Amino acid sequence: MKKKILLCSLFFSLTPLLLFFSVYLIGFFDFMAEGKVLGKSTDSPLSLSHVLAPSSEDDGVIVSQVQAADAWPIIIENYLKYYQSPLLPFKDKIIEICRQYNVKPQLIVAIAQQESNLGKKSPPDCYNAWGWGINESGTRCFQNWEEAIETVVRGIAKGYCEKGYCTDPCLMMKKYTPKSNGSWCAGVNQFLQEMDEGNF
């Protein structure tokens, strides 16, 4: 009987301490993972956000969240680099023109991946990675990648996004490549998902 009383006493006295200590540790690790620091800087591997977002020199606070729009240039650069695309040197141009026309840059990259393996299979000296303007009379060519990016993004903005087609590649497919059996839509969605998840 005494043994049971002793065990119960130990249980009820130690359990609150262990719970308090556990909650304290969880709070401490959450605090570290958010990148919050008390000093001017941190080298903690748990606070990687300072690589992408500058810290304030006055209060030592590190911005723990990066806007999604700010991450896309890095994601697109890594995607083009991974697939060794000839579009890689023009990544900034893609972002710039897409912002100008309010078109998601990942959509432009995904279409280029579907149409020409990011420009690697486009016709020689044609600079057309998007299958833009291809019809029975031939393939539309551009003078350089800059002209192609400007023309294609502007065309997609005016002819597709302004009409609500850019929200769904399967909807876009009906106008962009109406003879497709659905593979175009499936491919573009797959490449969008690769970039969204960073799974490439």
Residue 40 CA to residue 22 CA, distance in Å, equals 28
- Taking residues 87-102, what's their average pLDDT? 97
- Domain segments of the chain as ranges: 2-52, 68-197
Residue whose entry in the numeric block shows the structure tokens 């600079």:
127
Residue 66's pLDDT band (cuts 50, 70, 90): very low
Q: Which of 77, 147, 141 is nearest to 105 (CA)?
A: 77
Provide the pLDDT for residue 89.
97
CATH ID of 68-197, from 1.20.1600.10, 3.40.50.300, 1.10.530.10, 1.10.10.10 = 1.10.530.10
Q: Is the pTM of this model over 0.75?
A: no
Provide the pLDDT for residue 2.
60
Q: Do residues 110 and 129 touch, judged by C-beta distance below 8 A?
A: no
Range among 10-14, 25-29, 131-135, 180-184 with highest mean pLDDT value? 180-184
Q: Do residues 121 and 127 touch, judged by C-beta distance below 8 A?
A: no
Cα separation values, 66 from 110, 120, 135, Å: 23, 32, 42
Residue range 113-143, pLDDT digits in tens: 999 999 999 888 899 999 998 776 777 999 9
pLDDT at 86 > cutoff 70: yes
pLDDT at 165 > cutoff 60: yes
